[in-house]
Structure 1
Amino acid sequence: MSETKRITLYGAIDSPFPHRVRLALEEAGATYDIIWISLIYDKPEWYEQKVNVGVGKVPYLVYGGPKLNPGDAPSPETVQVSESLVINEFLADIFPDAHLLPTDPALRAKARLFAQYVDAKFLPAFAGFVFGLGTPVEGLLAAIEGLQRMLPAEGFAVGEWSIADAAAMPLLMRLNQVLELKPSMIKRDAAAQVVEALASPRFARIHKYTADNVARPSMAKTWDRVRLVYSCGELHDAQRRSALVQAAIDAETTKRIERLMKTGKLNSDLTIPVPVQP
């Protein structure tokens, strides 16, 4: 693909998975459109009927074609890609000068293994803890510790920033958010134990890793919720510019948690047993 075409991303403000793609797009310096889809209440019928047909999940990326508005069906001549990690690999290919993946084959493999660990180990522990599905404190901390062990002594997941970091950071940011919001499905002593542990020398490397990511313009552009446990006091004034976006993210997350506690609906597609109130 010799020329960059129009990029349209379908996403949801409170989901970490479209956030992964936005980080990659910002790091690439790409121009792109976003069409927001609500995950809290029923998604619009047109999304599953005309866009991500029969699936309806976000993120979904359309490459090429004319400008899309909500309710439009992408042209069949466009390239359409789903799944955040796959989308980011696609972006690394169409923006080679952005170096979203290293050129060295060994480092590319390491980046992919890091992202794989995030989805195979850290994501289940995160979801199990945050949504009251039985992950104990030490289970969550062990998953974060495993992530930390994969980091080099300095820098990002493979030294220079890559889409491996885009895989991890949206989940780490939302863990901090939830620890602040203190939803009722997480026992207060459990949340306090996690906060205390993450502030301890045991997690000094993940603390620095998170702070380094937060300091990047891509994070400031895509995540304006700046009250973070990991990087308190290390943010620049330019990154404090949008309290309105921060409030919107918090409000969406709070709504999702409230509905989960009442109905067991995690999003429009997934229902779990109603969490037991601690």
Structure 2
Amino acid sequence: MSEQLTLYLHKLSPFSQKVELALIEANAPYRGHQVDVFNKPEWFTSKVAPFGGKVPTVTYGGPSVDPQDPSPLSTKITESNVILEFLADLYPDSGLLPKDPVLRAKVRFFVDANTKHVEGPFYDFLRGRGSYENVLKGIEFVQGLLEEGRDFAVGNHYTIADACISPHLARLRIVTETDIGQFPVGMGSKLGEELKGPKFTKFTKYVDRMLERPSLKQSYDKEGVVTYFKTFFVRV
């Protein structure tokens, strides 16, 4: 595509990473511009994302200009899952969304399931507000959507289903390896041991495959995320 595309992101944000994964997997030309989500600059909230100042946001089209002064001719798109759909439409040959309507529906269902059954329960648990059991129930639900013998969430190709869940899988792995979080001491490690059991073999193998992808490694600052978790999810 000849139109400019700028991604406004925060490197430690799983929602920014979703979009970056899709862009990398689509081999799409884009410009990334970091935004401090804890102290968003005025130009960002007024010119890029006036409706809530959400990160990530992309600008698409218009002239290629200074990211801090985006063209009014560019379209501004926010909400990570909406951006994923946009990129899949923008790069239809990327395979980010299958051409088959049944598989497309399965991808969208997986994205919705990730939001409801993985993102919500996991981050509630991390903040000490949700139960260990709800995390396992969510993982079991998503595991049920994975087909035996398939490398990806849906079908035989990397899609936005894989992009939407992979950043959270990476952070789940941190929690199970380090026990960092505002949950009771030892519960993160216990979760990790449970996920190593035969009941969750299919899920764990899927996680391993996603975390080994070059796109994940390219877009993921593990040390930075660990430091962030240690800073913001301190037990009291």
Structure 1 equivalent of residue 138 of structure 2:
143
Q: Look up the equivalent residue of 2:23 and give its one-letter code.
A: L
Give yes or no for contact 1:10–1:60 (8 Å, CA) kept in 2. yes
Q: 2:222 aligns with which of 224, 238, 246?
A: 246
Work out the percentage of aligned pairs sharing the same amino acid: 37
Query: How far apart in 1 are the matches of 2:187 and 2:12?
Result: 23
Give yes or no for contact 2:146–2:154 (8 Å, CA) kept in 1. yes
Query: How far apart in 2 are the matches of 1:47 and 1:180?
Result: 36
Structure 1 equivalent of residue 207 of structure 2:
210
Give yes or no for contact 2:8–2:55 (8 Å, CA) kept in 1. yes
- Is 1:191 paired with 2:188? yes
Task: Write the deviation string for residues 247-275 of structure 1: whole angstroms up to 9, x where unpaired.
Answer: 333333333335xx7xxxxxxxxxxxxxx
Secondary structure of the equivalent of 1:53? coil
Gaps of 5+ in 1: 224-244, 262-276
Per the normalisation by structure 1, the TM-score is 0.79
Give yes or no for contact 1:46–1:71 (8 Å, CA) kept in 2. yes
Task: Write the deviation string for residues 19-69 of structure 1: whole angstroms up to 9, x where unpaired.
Answer: 110110001101211111123x32222211221003111110111233444
Query: How far apart in 2 are the matches of 1:248 and 1:189?
Result: 22
Structure 2 equivalent of residue 273 of structure 1:
none
Query: How far apart in 2 are the matches of 1:156 and 1:145?
Result: 16
Structure 2 equivalent of residue 26 of structure 1:
24
Query: How far apart in 2 are the matches of 1:75 and 1:64?
Result: 9
Q: Mean Cα displacement is larger for which, 102-111 or 59-68?
A: 59-68
Give yes or no for contact 1:12–1:38 (8 Å, CA) kept in 2. yes
CA gap of 1:183–1:69, structure 2 versus 1, over 3 A, is farther
Query: How far apart in 2 are the matches of 1:119 and 1:184?
Result: 20
Task: Write the deviation string for residues 166-223 of structure 1: whole angstroms up to 9, x where unpaired.
Answer: 1111111111123334335122221122011111111101111112212322112112
Query: How far apart in 2 are the matches of 1:87 and 1:162?
Result: 13
- Is 1:83 paired with 2:86? no
Q: Look up the equivalent residue of 1:82 and give its one-letter code.
A: T
Structure 1 equivalent of residue 96 of structure 2:
100
1:14 Cα offset (Å): 1.6
Q: CA RMSD in A?
A: 1.7
Query: Aligned pairs, how many?
Result: 234
Structure 1 equivalent of residue 3 of structure 2:
5
Query: How far apart in 2 are the matches of 1:184 and 1:246?
Result: 16
Query: How far apart in 1 are the matches of 2:176 and 2:30?
Result: 32
Give yes or no for contact 1:145–1:203 (8 Å, CA) kept in 2. yes
- Is 1:43 paired with 2:40? yes
Structure 2 equivalent of residue 52 of structure 1:
49
Structure 2 equivalent of residue 118 of structure 1:
114
Gaps of 5+ in 2: none
Per the normalisation by structure 2, the TM-score is 0.92
Give yes or no for contact 1:10–1:59 (8 Å, CA) kept in 2. yes
Structure 1 equivalent of residue 159 of structure 2:
162
1:115 Cα offset (Å): 0.3
Query: How far apart in 1 are the matches of 2:229 and 2:188?
Result: 17
Q: Look up the equivalent residue of 2:20 and give its one-letter code.
A: R
